[in-house]
Amino acid sequence: MKFDEIDESCVNAIRMLSCECIERAGSGHPGLPLGAAPMAYVLWRNHLRLNPDDPEWFDRDRFVLSAGHGSAMLYSLLHLSGFDLTMDDLKHFRRFRSRTPGHPERGSAPEVEATTGPLGQGLGMATGMAMAEAHLAAVCHSGEEVINHRTFVLCGDGDLMEGVSYEAASLAGHLKLNKLMVLYDSNSVSLDGRADRSFSEDVRGRFKSCGWNYLRVEDGNDLSAIDAAIERAKQQRNGPTLIEVRTVIGFGAPGQGTNQVHGTPLGEKGLAELRRRLHWDHPEFTVPRNVRERFRQCIGQRGGQAEAEWKCRVNQWAAGHPDKAEKLTQALNHQLPPDWKEGLPREVTGSESGRVTSHRIIQILADKLPFLWGGSADLASSNKTNIERSDLFRAERREGRNIAFGVREFAEASALNGIALHGGSRVFGGTFFVFSDYMRAAIRLAALQKLPVIYIFTHDSIAVGEDGPTHEPVEQLMSLRAMPGVSLIRPADANETVAAWEAAIETSDRPTILALSRQKLPVLSGTAEQAEEGVRHGGYVLSPQEGAWPEGILIATGSEVRLAIGAQKLLRQSGHDVSVVSMPCFDRFEKQSQAYRESVLPSTVRRRMSIEMGATFGWERYVGLQGISLGVDTFGASGSAEDLMNHFGFTENHIVTLYTQAAEKPVNLVHPQVG
């Protein structure tokens, strides 16, 4: 492919628009756009299959800007390529409620495939996208290429310093995701100074050891060399490819090649000097006509033709395989088949752990939802996440529905986000609850992007026992409840676990965490009739008081609901008539009407006690200033579950003692007149 002066102008248009956006905003990162514009241009000009007229076309290539601080470059590319992003949008870069926020945000502008900025996670999400493409292509394959696209990433030195990039690269290499390609903007500079202050590893050796192909372009301004490297990478069949492109950060600007141009606007004089060096004589925010024509011809025409050809193939496939086509359409549109709940257990008898109930549910759902898949961080046998009638997803069997993420929780959570972003799947992932801390940053991005990822976190309390405090979650419940946009459900028994899975599957706009027990839980009286609606509402009166009005309220979650009901019976014997509220999901409860919340937790009943094997911080929301909380505000200990529960006071007798002592203290009880 030959490049000409117009192509050079296109590269400089990306550079200038990016820097003008940053200058207008008074903040931003000019270094990456100035250095990486050539590789981005070549990728978009010759290789990416995108259609500006239909940004959500499903078989488009995915482009993830993992180095999200270079967002001005992405917005410039979108505008120049003809996507619905105007020059006024560029001029409002980084302003409140603009379509061009400081770091890329999924949904703010077309073709922003992922919310990036926390370094390394873009590579993790791209790995998930490539996994989803490979899996869906295999599931849908019937002789026609219904799904066949690539995932491209642009990353920098900072991305490769973050540990998640190693986890993701290791997973991608193991799975031989040959349609995943990373353009590495290798400029040896990070925010604080030269990268060799903290980063000196052999990147080639690292990625080769992970099963990647490695290519290198010595001059980041050599469009032909970049083009040849990308073309060569597209031919690889034995694994993903990293192309290291040696660039000069802030190319053309005063201070180029140093950290001075990483994250600071160039200023009026600096911008003028850049114009002079790039021979850019056009007014601010001006794009020459020949530049616009080149972008539209190369990107719009190629993408429009590719989508038209794809639609023909899909129509032929759908005509021959209507059942598969219907189910894929449902998956793409987050629709559920009418009979998806059939077969779910409704009247569970006996005792079983939350993880075992969950495992049974997964088998039933897997039959009803063919695009449901997921896995665990080398804990499938403990988390009970395996789909029994399916194989592992691996290089030799892409249709497998069980993902062996290995001991890579951060990459697992990032990949789950990528699978959800890709579309066409419902996905879940598991680990021990305490190790959700390794996933936290990715869970946060799932919430920001409103992704319906389902997390199966088992071993949910100090009842883990013998594994000791390193494996016993204490603060995780409240810390994840504090994260906006996340539903955390901690079911009390098998019936609530069924209801929790139903709620998770029906949710399309946020992640759901299922905090499940290792130990067996007895089926509680009343949950068979109330759990479905109770969990959907987040909290409900499971065992009401005997009289017209409760003296007090015991509020519990998970395995502790059983203790609350046992304590309720003992309290009645001593004249204390209390109700028991099961509160499996705080955020769902908070979304209910004031009238509903009042019916569960009457404001006039101020004697309240929370019971949960986790940090008490946060329970004051429901128990109030005159209530008490039984919890665990230290780390756990090693020992049997029974010993630990006795030590920390999680017994019916201790609950009765605490409540009775509190009840003896004066309290302003304002009960309404009854009758």
464 is known to lie in a ligand binding site: no
What are the phi and psi torsion angles at 190 (to 5°)?
A: -120, -175
Distance, C-alpha 634 to centroid of its chain: 30
Active site residue 496: no
219 is known to lie in a ligand binding site: no
Closest CA to 463 of 610, 637, 619: 637
245 is known to lie in a ligand binding site: no
| 8 A C-beta contact, residue 552 and residue 517 | no
Q: Please give the DSSP secondary-structure letter assigned to residue 397.
A: B
Q: Max Cα separation, the chain?
A: 91
| 8 A C-beta contact, residue 294 and residue 7 | yes
Q: Where are the beta strands (DSSP E) in 315-425?
A: 351-353, 372-376, 402-404
Distance, C-alpha 299 to centroid of its chain: 30
640 is known to lie in a ligand binding site: no
Residue 233 to residue 138: CA distance in whole angstroms: 22
Residue 77 to residue 64: CA distance in whole angstroms: 13
Residues ≥6 apart with Cβ < 8 Å to 447: 483, 484, 485, 486, 510, 511
355 is known to lie in a ligand binding site: yes
DSSP secondary structure string for all residues of 655-674: HHHHHHHHHTS-----PPP-
118 is known to lie in a ligand binding site: yes
262 is known to lie in a ligand binding site: yes
Q: Half-sphere exposure (CA, 13 Å, Cβ side) for 56?
A: 8
150 is known to lie in a ligand binding site: no
418 is known to lie in a ligand binding site: no
Residue 584 to residue 495: CA distance in whole angstroms: 12
Three-state DSSP state, 412: helix
Q: How many CB atoms lie within 10 A of CB 172?
A: 30
Active-site pick, 113, 162, 167, 409: 409
Closest CA to 522 of 559, 491, 555: 559
Closest CA to 203 of 246, 160, 257, 248: 160
322 is known to lie in a ligand binding site: no
92 is known to lie in a ligand binding site: no
187 is known to lie in a ligand binding site: yes
587 is known to lie in a ligand binding site: no
Q: Half-sphere exposure (CA, 13 Å, Cβ side) for 184?
A: 25
Residue 482 to residue 503: CA distance in whole angstroms: 20
584 is known to lie in a ligand binding site: no
Residue type, 285: F
141 is known to lie in a ligand binding site: no
Residue type, 205: G
Residue 186 to residue 155: CA distance in whole angstroms: 9
Closest CA to 127 of 159, 83, 161: 159
Q: Output b/e per residue, 371-390; b: 16+ Cβ within 10 A.
A: bbbbbbbbbbeebbbbbeee
Residues ≥6 apart with Cβ < 8 Å to 43: 63, 152, 154, 183, 226, 230
Residue 109 to residue 61: CA distance in whole angstroms: 17
Q: What are the beta bridge partners of residue 562? A: none
| 8 A C-beta contact, residue 340 and residue 505 | yes
| 8 A C-beta contact, residue 90 and residue 151 | no
What are the phi and psi torsion angles at 123 (to 5°)?
A: -65, -40
> Which parts are annotated binding residues for Mg(2+)?
157, 187, 189
Task: Point out the annotated binding site for thiamine diphosphate.
Answer: 69, 117-119, 158, 187, 262, 435
Binding residues: 29, 69, 117-119, 157-158, 187, 189, 262, 355, 382, 435, 459, 467, 471, 518
Catalytic positions are 409
Annotated binding site for substrate: 29, 262, 355, 382, 459, 467, 471, 518
